[in-house]
Each structure stands twice: as C-alpha cells, then as structure tokens.
Amino acid sequence: MLPLDSYRVLDLSLRAPGPFCTWLLGDMGADVIRIEEPASRLRAERAPDDVDPLVAERRAAHDVLGRNKRSIALNLKTAEGQEVFYKLCPSTDVVVEGFRPGVVARLGVDYDTVRQINPRIVYCSLSGYGQTGPYRQLPGHDINYIALGGALGIIGPSGGPPAPPSNLVGDFAAGGQQAAIGILMALLVRERTGRGQYLDVAMADGVVALMAMAYSDYFASGYVPEVGETRLTGRAPYYQAYRTLDGKYISVGCNESWFYENLCRLLELEEYIPHQSSVERWPEIRERFQQRFLTRTRDEWWRLFQERDICGAPVYSLEEARADPQLTERGAFLELSHPVLGVIPQVGIATRLSETPGAVRSFAPKVGEHTDALLAELGYGAARIQELRDMGAIK
C-alpha cells in the first residue's frame, strides 16, 4: 500500500516546478497522467523526434521527474482532444497546470470547466507571479522569482554580485513543493467537506515565505542586508565555507555557542571564544579561521569535526555526494533495473513513511506512450482511436 494509491492526477505542466510537484505525488503512489501536446516546441528543442532510439530510451530512464507517470498525447486545441480530457475528469482527483494565467481557459480545461464535471476536483495553477496582480502575465524563471522575493539579493560573496543557487529555491521549494503541500491539504479538506477547491500557487509568493526569518529580522531591526551580509549568507565566520589545503572546501555551521567553542578549540584560536557575537571582529576572525583551514585537507577536517562534535560537512561534488556513506545508507540514491539499459541510478525518495513508504514503480514514459491504453480504459475502441490519431487529436 502506498499513501496516495487511490488518487489520480492529471499533469498539464511542462517545466520543472509542476513536474517536481507531481513527481512527489507519484512517488507516493498517485496515478499521475502527463497530458502532453503531440507537437510541443519545448519538447522538440529538448528531445527531437529524429534522435537515436537508444538515446531517447536513456533520456527517459534518467528523467527522474517523469518517473511513476503515464503519458497521453492530447491536442487540447481540438474539440476531440478536449473530449478525451473531459472523460478523464470524473475519475481524477487533482489537476496541475503551469501555464500563464488564462491559457487553460482558452483551451477549455480551466477550473470552472472541470469542476462542472467533477465538483470534487482539486485544481492547482502553479505560476511565477500568480493569477492576480500587475505581474500575472509576465514570463519568468527561478532567477526572476528569487530576485523579486528578496532571496537573490542576499546570496553571494560580500561585495560581489548575487549568486543564483541553481533552481532549487524558486522552482522546486517555493513552487513545486508548495504546490504539493497545498494539494495534500486540499485533499484532506475534501475528506471532510466532499468538495474540491482551486489552488493559486505563485513561486514569487513561495520565495517570500521561504525568506520568513530574514524578513522577520528586517521588520524587527530595519536593517536591510546586502549580498553576503547576513549571518547565514557569509557574514558570520562561524557559518561559512572555508578553502582547505587540497583546494577543496569544508562547510562550518556553528551557530550555537558550544559548537562555536568546540570549533575555536580545534583551530587553536581560543581567544575568539568570547567574541562570537562581536560583529566588528568578524572579518578578523574569518581571516584567522581561513588561515587555519589551509593547514589540512578537507577530509582531514571533516574527520576532526566528527570527533570534536562540530557542525560541519565537506562541500561535495555530485560524484562525491553519491558515494557518501550516510546518504547511501539512507537511500538518497537508488539503482534501478532497466530492461534495456541495465542499472540506472536515480535519486531516492526523501520522505520516509514507516508504514506506507513511497516506491519507484516505473521509469519516465515517452510522449504518448500510454495514449492507447488510457483511451481503452475510457471505453474508446481501436477504430475510434485511429480516427482521433488521423485527425491530430492524439499521438
């Protein structure tokens, strides 16, 4: 038994935030059906039709955000494609879409339309700036949302430019993860009321929420931090990444006084123990710490940190992280058996439930891989399926 065994999700999203959301739901057992456009410009750029079949197979096998999902290729710009979508709605619990506001209404698959078919539907619109406000129609990506929400303005080296942190903050944490949490809450409410509801999730909103502590400090003190000038973004010497003898880096996170004291004693800089909060001395302390860290390799420091009860960890490459014994034992990475390609590594399932853990049940589908099977489930016969294909409603 999986936590979301009996739930069906229709996924209309294309880029990272929506697929990340439905990936989380799929790993927990939801029947996630990707509604994919038969001729998508975005998909053609990433995976052209003339690519070698084995390359396409490998791409799908390594598409972690596509695992545990089925794919139906529907042209929602046709009445026939919309008809198929509507027939899927009565057996569906959740719809996720990631278009700009207004697009799903033009396609005839918006919340108001779907809830007339299924009043229990939980419908999530995930966008950059939300369904309301002056920026609602603007295009954007992770870097833009974290910029607007105030996160990018404090990340990076002091005195230098902002440093975008991949797409972890806006797309995944503020977007996809917030959407998944909202969907689960709406499903819980539905258990009590019998009614679904609409979720308007904006990544810019989510970034502000993730910045709650920084905003609280600002509201309380009035201090507006610059890039790299907050306690947790490089200003404090006890919350920092330091270069080591071998040219690698070790991270230090000694916020608490007792961990900071342990760190100072290890570095033989006990004179700085009383000065953890002496902001005016932080540049000096940071420089002295850096000098000490250059005397040993990263892994030597990491071993000492573990022995002396110090908050820290090596700054790993992806290759190194995959081999770490802690992450390995916890199942952070999986090795899956693929029928064509053999062993395929993927990231694991982060949320571990004791009684109903998630599971990887299938690799990512190719576009339209399950079109015929899903149409058959809806009662379409082979002749009608071929008609729909001939008229371009499906692929």
**Catalytic positions:** 141, 171
On whether the CB atoms of residues 80 and 47 are closer than 8 A, the answer is: no
Identify the bridge partners of residue 252 per DSSP, sorted by sequence position: 240, 312
Q: How far apart are the first and last CA of the chain?
A: 33
Nearest to 78 by CA among 101, 109, 51, 56: 109
**Considering all CA atoms of the chain, what is the largest pairwise distance in Å, rounded to the nearest integer?**
83
- Long-range (24+ apart) CB contacts under 8 A made by 304-308 are 304/266, 305/250, 305/266, 308/262, 308/265, 308/266
Look at residue 187 and give its three-state secondary structure.
Answer: helix
Q: How far apart are CA 119 and CA 112, in angstroms?
A: 10
Look at residue 305 and give its three-state secondary structure.
Answer: helix
Contacts for 293 with CB less than 8 Å, ≥ 6 apart:
242, 243, 244, 250, 267, 301
